A = this chain, B = another copy of it.
Amino acid sequence: MLQIINHGNVRELRLARPPVNALNPELVERLILTLRESAGECGAVVLSGREGLFSAGLDVVELMQLDRDGMKVFWRAFFELQETIACSPIPVVAAITGHAPAGGAVMCLMCDYRVMSDGDYRIGLNESQVGLIIPPVLQNAMVRLVGPRIGEQMLVAGATVDSQQALKIGLVDALEPAYDKTISHAIEWCQKLLSLPQHSVLGNRAIARAHFKQEFAENTDADIASFVDGWFSDETQVVINSLIARLKAK
């Protein structure tokens, strides 16, 4: 479900939940715990996926089996995962080894740096297309990277972009031609940071990311309630059920 691969002082957490690294309650919990442990055991973390796919986002099939309380618990954990990445005491880098839609993209937004495999891979918050509403704190994380104009337009349309376009608009920071290169680029980026005085690197980083802590603290409860209400609305259930029917038909 989650492979841990140490590269010296840099720890790679490789999503390994076939077939599409979908985020179910267990994987989200595992990510939170492993990220927290890692902060005391290494200097930086790389999140990666398999060749051609980083993560397809939420495991809607499994989540549709949850009742309202179960969904509330899951969504709180999903928020906690994003906060754990964004407010991590050590740098977290996304090695986006392929497609990264929806919840897969959200994790990338929270990272310090994003390197993506170049190719016909899509990244973006396509929630609008599947009937879901993205809470403010997650929208802001997108806007932080691509600006309010492009951010609003992509979020409203549920648009995804390919790797070249992602680089152009700042949704990712660099491209690499192959799977291995994507991961090694991420590791080298971490190693370069780790060669600098850590008290100033981490001190400056904490200031640059302080707004995340504040946003998560202020908004989480209301956002969770809204999202769960939306999830169980008739309109959203219809869209998700037809999405699941399409997935199963494949």
Give me the interface of A with B, judged by CB distance under 8 Å: 91, 112-113, 127-136, 139, 143-145, 147-153, 155-158, 170, 173, 192-193, 196-197, 199-201, 203-205, 207-210, 230, 233, 235-236, 239
The list of the 5 closest CB pairs from A to B, nearest first, reads A133-B203, A152-B208, A199-B235, A156-B205, A144-B148
Docked CA distance A24–B133 (Å): 39
When the two chains form their complex, are residues B131 and A207 in contact, meaning their CB atoms are under 8 A apart?
A: no
**Chain B residues with CB below 8 A from A207, complex form:** 133-136, 139, 155
Closest approach, in angstroms, between the C-beta of A134 and any C-beta of chain B?
A: 6
Q: What is the distance, in angstroms, from A187's C-beta to the closest C-beta of chain B? A: 16
| Contacts A129-B200, A144-B149, A155-B207 supplied; 12 other A-B pairs, CB < 8 Å | A112-B156, A127-B200, A127-B204, A128-B197, A131-B199, A131-B200, A134-B204, A136-B207, A148-B208, A157-B201, A158-B201, A197-B239
Q: Sample 27 A-B pairs with CB under 8 A, ordered by A number.
A: A91-B156, A112-B152, A113-B153, A127-B204, A128-B196, A128-B197, A128-B200, A128-B204, A133-B204, A133-B207, A136-B210, A139-B207, A144-B149, A145-B148, A145-B149, A147-B147, A149-B173, A152-B209, A155-B204, A155-B207, A155-B208, A156-B205, A156-B208, A157-B193, A158-B204, A200-B236, A203-B230
- The interface residues of chain B lying within 8 Å CB-to-CB of A199 are 131, 133, 233, 235-236
In the complex, what distance in Å separates the CA atom of A200 from the CA atom of B239? 10
CA distance A149 to B146 in the complex (A): 8
Within the complex, what minimum Cβ distance (angstroms) separates A154 from chain B?
Answer: 10
B155:A192 contact, CB within 8 angstroms: no
By beta carbon, the residue of chain B nearest A210 is: B136
Per the bound structure, the CA–CA distance linking A135 and B197 in Å amounts to 17
Q: Considering the chains assembled together, what is the distance between the CA atoms of A192 and B153 in angstroms?
A: 12
B contact residues around A149 at 8 Å (CB): 144-145, 170, 173
Candidates B156, B157, B173, B201; contact of A128 at CB < 8 Å: B201
Which residue of chain B is the closest to A153 with respect to CB atoms? Answer: B113
For residue A19, give the distance in angstroms from its CB to the closest CB of chain B. Answer: 26
| C-alpha gap A181/B126 in the complex (Å) | 28
